[in-house]
Structure 1
């Protein structure tokens, strides 16, 4: 492997938890310091960004927009809000029309409040909600604000079993539960709803088309051709400031630099966070830009 610091665009298979994926990648790379950039439910597949080595410190600076392709099953309500749960209720969907569904979908776009599923990784008093739910001790969680930029109906399939499957594409911010959208859409249409399939096609700037399966990663490791995605490649949404070597050393020591006094170009307006590199183009870390001052935030190289 070329270097042990950077990111991997993992194609998560269904059936594994995000933690399972971290553990498996640790075994493949023989490295302990690995983290992921956003939980995917075990039944889900698709993009799971992985940070290797010191790049784990940069996960919170990756872009937050996510894109999902999902199948929502109307006419079925389950304990987990997906098809892995036990059936709570069924209802006929034969009278539903695409016009009704599209109208209902409108209320799930924009800056909205969403109640997380009872089976989720959110912690309450140090315990995961899914642990409490499995113990028969479900906890009521307050709604949270989430951002859903776009929610499009792609396809419609009515089953002879009485339910209706909707293929949808969702563009959203972090913290959005697709299972909650399925549940709440079913409630709005008075049919019940649950999540039947989920694939994440974009996360943290990484695309499904460029993701690698575990088998592909293992093959590249064996051939010594695996190359990690560098921080500058993953952080293209952040402006870059290049420091001369002497100033770069001072910044790496934790010193605040005053840009006007040093005759350095200021970042674009409204750029609170910037990436910093030296004259040779080496990534040094992340800096806070405030009042024309460059304040070290995450120092990677020094």
Structure 2
């Protein structure tokens, strides 16, 4: 008798990633838990980083980019006077400074990074250059020309700790912002260098630590959870049938700039429509 294939699982999981495993390791844990190969995550966290990791399972992997396109929030410690090869505590020390800092001076310098800023992606990042990720290029010892990226920092607050060289930091920023680069750049702005440690993501898009659970305990949520921040449109049976085929709604049905999550009369998510290059594009979820 032929072995029966397990039913396909579709949904989302919000994980509080622990210290140690990579984001890919977490995906592996969830593949074993749910018996589903199609699993992806949004917003990689380094092994030493913890916090909110948004995961899509089955058809829901198509929705990940909508779930975490918004702002992210982080907490970390910034260690002044020591620059490392990875800009965090996992790297080797490459330079040291004697930095005599006043809290008001550090706060003023941090405020200078709030707004639209240009960042150079770190060599340990997953950004692709010539088809290869920067961290792969760095490990091979090859050189790569990095292109600065425009990001948005909405909040960058620092406060002193019991160690005059260590400050706690809270950051709200756009997707694609590197907190390790922010810490290193702050050290440079204060006349020396710095690296970060104890990085924790407290929010990713619509999801916060209150939503997150350990990988072995995180519950399976409906795919619609990943688009809960989008504008929502309820469709008739006829419109729902057309949307399932990839047909766009009449223009007057859309309000705002989108994207729009489309639901059938039974409140099931069918598709997401968005504007791209002046035209409408549909991401349809098969049944």
Answer yes or no: is the 8 Å Cα contact 1:70–1:169 preserved in 2: yes
**Cα offset, 1:106, TM superposition:** 1.8
Aligned pairs for 1:1-302 within 5 A: 4-62=9-67, 63-93=69-99, 95-158=100-163, 164-217=165-218, 226=219, 228-258=220-250, 266-268=253-255, 270-288=256-274, 297-301=282-286
Answer yes or no: is the 8 Å Cα contact 1:255–1:296 preserved in 2: no
CA 1:96/1:257 → structure 2, altered by over 3 Å: closer, same or farther?
Answer: closer
TM, length-normalised to structure 1: 0.86
Partner Cα separation in structure 2 for residue 157 and residue 132 of structure 1 = 38
Partner Cα separation in structure 1 for residue 239 and residue 107 of structure 2 = 56
Partner Cα separation in structure 1 for residue 214 and residue 29 of structure 2 = 12
SS of the residue 1:157 aligns to = coil
Provide structure 2 residue ranges, at least 5 long, that are not aligned to the other structure: 1-6
CA 1:243/1:44 → structure 2, altered by over 3 Å: closer, same or farther?
Answer: same
Deviates most, 64-73 or 134-143: 134-143
**Cα offset, 1:214, TM superposition:** 2.2
Answer yes or no: is the 8 Å Cα contact 1:49–1:204 preserved in 2: no
How many matched pairs? 278
**Cα offset, 1:151, TM superposition:** 0.5
Provide structure 1 residue ranges, at least 5 long, that are not aligned to the other structure: 218-225, 261-265
CA 1:103/1:13 → structure 2, altered by over 3 Å: closer, same or farther?
Answer: same
**Cα offset, 1:187, TM superposition:** 0.9
Answer yes or no: is the 8 Å Cα contact 2:80–2:195 preserved in 1: yes
Deviates most, 250-259 or 66-75: 250-259
**Cα offset, 1:137, TM superposition:** 2.2
Partner Cα separation in structure 2 for residue 8 and residue 123 of structure 1 = 26
Segments of 4+ in structure 1 off by > 6 A? none
Superposed CA RMSD: 2.1
Answer yes or no: is the 8 Å Cα contact 1:153–1:166 preserved in 2: yes
TM, length-normalised to structure 2: 0.90
Post-superposition Cα deviations, 1:162-211, rounded to whole Å, max 9, x if no partner, equal xx111010000111001101111111112210012200000021111221
